[in-house]
Structure 1
Amino acid sequence: MDAPELAKPQPALLMCYGKTPYTPGRYLEDALRRIGIRVVRMEETVDFAAINMSSYLGVLFVESPSRPKVLVKNIHLVTIPKLFWIHHGENRLNANIEMCGWYKPDLLLMAHSLHLAHQFPSPVRFFPFGVDPHIFHSATPLAERPVDISFVGGQSALYRTREARMKYMETELKGKRTVSFNKKVFLHDLSSLYGKSKIVFNHTADSIKAFNMRIFEGMGCGALVFSDYAPEQEMLFQDRTHFVLYQSRNDLMNKIDYYLNNPQEAQLIAGTAQNYVRQFHTYDHRAEQIINWMKKLRA
């Protein structure tokens, strides 16, 4: 009688970052688990002298600015692939350069701001945000959504133009359209709002133009995303195929009026974008890419 085959051990990954409910690392960690990776998370200090490297495919460090930086000891002992994913540009450049020196990654993964790649000592790969379709989803057609335009995001001196444009929209559209700006909602509540919205408004900071998560989340919820330009957008999305790009305040208002009065065109773009991000740009896709890079580095 043949001996029964032993089950293969679940591949494991050491993930080092400060977890919060909303950080991109959390979405990626969830996705890694969904694709069958055993994730061991470490959030404060990692002493690699105390870790059995043979147990892991690799080490993934993730920037998490709202939490303390993960400190490392004996990084020189790491013999498996090391990746470091960062999410910010100029406003966190010095901190990320410092951490890159600590972690010594084999690959630095940048969510945007590729013009800064030359500032880092490690090879760089473009690794944008994605969408978690288990959170951000909606099947409601635009014509049945009660909110015409929504926006959720923080307020600071970095976003004066964005604030001015939202105030202008509120004034111009008062009594004509339903808008929802600056609600303090997150995760499933955020998804619910976007899933009730025809248009999700996006605007980058005044001086730091960075590709952000709002675009993916709005698309994932089947809304028509409006955005100003940020570098790297065109590497993933096409204007008037996946989203609507506006150049100025007048251009924004004209396009809002056009697409709200032409719902079939709005639905075509929003539906195309939702299908596209589900097919190519979920965090499960990002997780698979992480594992593929680690396997190539191990080869």
Structure 2
Amino acid sequence: MDLRILFLNWAPIISFGLAPGFRDIGWVTDILPPEDNHPDGIRRRIADFKPDYLLTEGGVGREKLLLPLIEECGVPHLYWAIEDPVASNLSLAYGRASILTLTTCEEWLREVYAPNGVEAICVPFACNPSFHATGRYRPEFRHELAFVGNNYEAHANRKAGLAIMIDPLLAAGYPIAFYGDENWINGRISYTIDPALYRGYLSYIHWPDLCASTPFVLGLHSINGSRTMQAMRSFEVLGCGGLFFTQHTTAMEAMFDNHKHLVWSTSAEETVELYRYYQSHPDEAERIRRQGREFVYAHHTYAHRAREIEAKLAQLHGKQVNGR
């Protein structure tokens, strides 16, 4: 009998990512809709779907709602700690209520979870080939350079990324299309851009088309020093066949090959040099796009992640899971 898992979040990383990954390996999935995000709605969903497992991703600001219900229902809970390595109090609160915690930060297995008696494995971000695939060219998404993400400055590495990836290209006269929240232009954040460059939010369903229409998709990362934690965009852009042009981090170097799967830069000067080089060598840029997608399809899909989770659950239960 196929196992059943109910996701208590409806974010794109679940609905277009991990949930399809579980379906790909034979699980039956359900996703809590926003209208059921209250105690009675969650209880009803659990009663109707009868899951073998629950899974929460992130869960920021929902602790008071979810933690009592997880304890009340008695269904084994998995926690995907995508905020690691930032919010240890949040991750440990959910981790202690879960049979298994899935961290995006490998280092926290020994630094945080093991010392606190929380069972955990490393589950980084990934791509879903049934969604993160070649899109169609659309003129409205035809930019030479694009960045997709909100504007915030809570992390020093993010600020460094702006200085390495964004500022030098703008200073050299290369326009960048920015998609994200209005903090790029409303003055609430000290870092602002020319409003003419701002394109508003990008609906997640348009990711494949953006990557098919824009030669270079820029990457910024809030975290450095981890071998696994990075922006989820890395895998999504590569899966969609885009050229991911990003700041260097420990995770970039640990998980990808530069100039083979993507392109990273370590300085403002290098960013402009690399952009000019690949702009004038489109065949080499296309080779990187092809190799990057082949690599993540072979090693970093959400089906891969789901199998790793399934294997750990089997180990914890001392038996096969889902007949495998």
TM-score between both structures, scaled by the size of structure 1: 0.77
Question: Is 1:201 aligned to residue 203 of structure 2?
Answer: no
Q: 2:82 maps to what in 1?
A: 87
Q: 1:4 maps to what in 2?
A: none
Task: Give unmatched runs, 5+ long, in structure 2.
Answer: 180-198, 320-324
Q: 1:227 maps to what in 2?
A: 246
Alpha-carbon separation, structure 1, partners of 2:262 and 2:82: 22
Matched letter for residue 123 of structure 1: E
Deviation track 1:199-245 (CA, whole Å, cap 9, x = no partner) reads 11111137787411111111112111122233333443222221112
**Quick one: which of 289, 295, 298 aligns to 2:314?**
295
Stretch deviating more after TM superposition (126-135 or 69-78): 69-78
Alpha-carbon separation, structure 2, partners of 1:277 and 1:13: 25
Question: Is 1:168 aligned to residue 168 of structure 2?
Answer: yes
Q: 1:3 maps to what in 2?
A: none
Alpha-carbon separation, structure 2, partners of 1:26 and 1:65: 20
- Structure 1 segments (4+ residues) deviating >3 Å: 23-26, 40-47, 55-61, 66-69, 72-78, 80-83, 159-165, 206-210, 231-235
Matched letter for residue 168 of structure 2: Y
**Cα offset, 1:40, TM superposition:** 4.6
Question: Is 1:35 aligned to residue 52 of structure 2?
Answer: no
The number of residues matched between the two structures is 277
Q: 2:127 maps to what in 1?
A: 131
Q: 1:269 to 1:108 in 2, by over 3 A?
A: same
Q: Secondary structure at the match of 2:241?
A: coil
Alpha-carbon separation, structure 1, partners of 2:308 and 2:150: 30
Q: 1:19 maps to what in 2?
A: 10
Matched letter for residue 180 of structure 1: A
Sequence identity percentage: 20
Task: Give unmatched runs, 5+ long, in structure 1.
Answer: 1-8
Q: 1:251 to 1:116 in 2, by over 3 A?
A: farther
Q: 2:301 maps to what in 1?
A: 282
Question: Is 1:187 aligned to residue 204 of structure 2?
Answer: yes
Please say if residues 168 and 272 of structure 2, whose CA atoms lie closer than 8 Å, have aligned partners that are also in contact: no
Deviation track 1:45-80 (CA, whole Å, cap 9, x = no partner) reads 578xx979xx755443432336555223574995x8
**Cα offset, 1:251, TM superposition:** 1.2
- Aligned-pair RMSD on alpha carbons? 3.4
Alpha-carbon separation, structure 2, partners of 1:170 and 1:66: 36
Q: 1:272 maps to what in 2?
A: 291
Q: 1:67 to 1:149 in 2, by over 3 A?
A: farther
Question: Is 1:118 aligned to residue 111 of structure 2?
Answer: yes
**Cα offset, 1:250, TM superposition:** 0.8
Please say if residues 18 and 67 of structure 1, whose CA atoms lie closer than 8 Å, have aligned partners that are also in contact: no
Please say if residues 149 and 200 of structure 1, whose CA atoms lie closer than 8 Å, have aligned partners that are also in contact: yes
Stretch deviating more after TM superposition (199-208 or 243-252): 199-208
Q: Secondary structure at the match of 1:71?
A: helix
**Larger proportion of strand:** 1
Stretch deviating more after TM superposition (221-230 or 116-125): 116-125
Alpha-carbon separation, structure 2, partners of 1:133 and 1:119: 33
Please say if residues 57 and 295 of structure 1, whose CA atoms lie closer than 8 Å, have aligned partners that are also in contact: no
Please say if residues 137 and 195 of structure 1, whose CA atoms lie closer than 8 Å, have aligned partners that are also in contact: no
TM-score between both structures, scaled by the size of structure 2: 0.72
Q: Secondary structure at the match of 2:124?
A: coil
Please say if residues 136 and 208 of structure 2, whose CA atoms lie closer than 8 Å, have aligned partners that are also in contact: no
Q: Secondary structure at the match of 1:232?
A: helix
Q: Secondary structure at the match of 1:289?
A: helix
